[in-house]
Chains A and B, each alone.
Chain A
């Protein structure tokens, strides 16, 4: 097998275990989209155009809360700011590529693909076809995400609303934070964000509570990291 195909295959294999939680996430997204009365085209269209679970769920939540499109877009931007970190770290591994490659790979630079390709890039600095790893990992996520969205759309028309599936939004995001439950500073940041959002939900105008809560929590995170580095 030539190097490109081999690298592509290892991207697909490496990311596969991370697809297990993506499937219920995608299904939940599709079901909730249907419960909110969106058309199936729109629900699937969001998965193709945005291709980001957290962003899509935030979009649905703010839509159902009646937020303006300006605040919605701002909140989605805040949710996505973590990708700046991924891009900055990957720039050193992808700088030799043509712009077309950068355009394609950026589309699939999501949490799961970043996690596995970052490990691969660090270990295989001399593989000049290393970007095929990100291509394989990213498009595996893409296909799984579209299929689970479609499953959710199909299930959404039969699942009764009494099951309270909207609660799974909170549970899904909670589950994404489990690795940070053990870190004291992260717990403080989480509590600040949660409390500001809960208090601000009705008091902060224009449903901008996600943006305000995130900024307050990031300021606290900055203070905590500054205090930590001073101590060292």
Chain B
């Protein structure tokens, strides 16, 4: 990792926050654009979530005896009902540990 990459990422992050505040005097984005932008987390986070769960270290699909899939499904169920970020993370992590350490997955 180079410091320059960190700085560029910092600049681009900052610009996405600053640009609209700097350029606009009032909110002129149409409802349609706002509606689409509201999907950005749903459009991006799964791209970060899925590959490490479904792929092994070599990049091959790993669907059999994969403790991460089971733990993630459990976390989704807990998240759906509890609506708690903390419960979601810990239920997934603890069930993952139970699967790999106690059940020998």
Contact = CB atoms under 8 A, between A and B. Distances in A.
A178 B88 contact: yes
Interface string A77-103: 111111111111111101100010011
B42 A177 contact: yes
Contacts, number: 275
Interface string B35-58: 111111111111111111111000
B26 A80 contact: no
A42 B1 contact: yes
Interface residues of A, number: 91
Interface string B9-41: 110111011111111111111001011111111
Contacts of A24: 86, 89
A49 B10 CA distance: 5
A171 B45 CA distance: 11
B37 A82 contact: yes
A191 B34 contact: no
Contacts of A29: none
A191 B56 CA distance: 20
A182 interface: yes
A67 to B, nearest CB: 10
A168 B72 contact: no
Contacts of A174: 45, 49, 72, 75-76, 79, 88, 92
A117 to B, nearest CB: 12
Interface stretch (A7-15, A140-148, A149-157, A194-202): A194-202
Interface of B: 1-10, 12-14, 16-29, 32, 34-55, 59, 61, 68, 71-72, 75-76, 79-80, 83-86, 88-89, 92-93, 96-97, 100
26 contacts: A54-B45, A57-B48, A59-B1, A77-B12, A77-B16, A78-B44, A82-B41, A84-B19, A88-B20, A89-B27, A91-B24, A94-B21, A105-B21, A106-B18, A106-B22, A170-B49, A170-B50, A170-B52, A171-B88, A174-B75, A175-B79, A186-B39, A193-B47, A197-B46, A197-B50, A217-B39
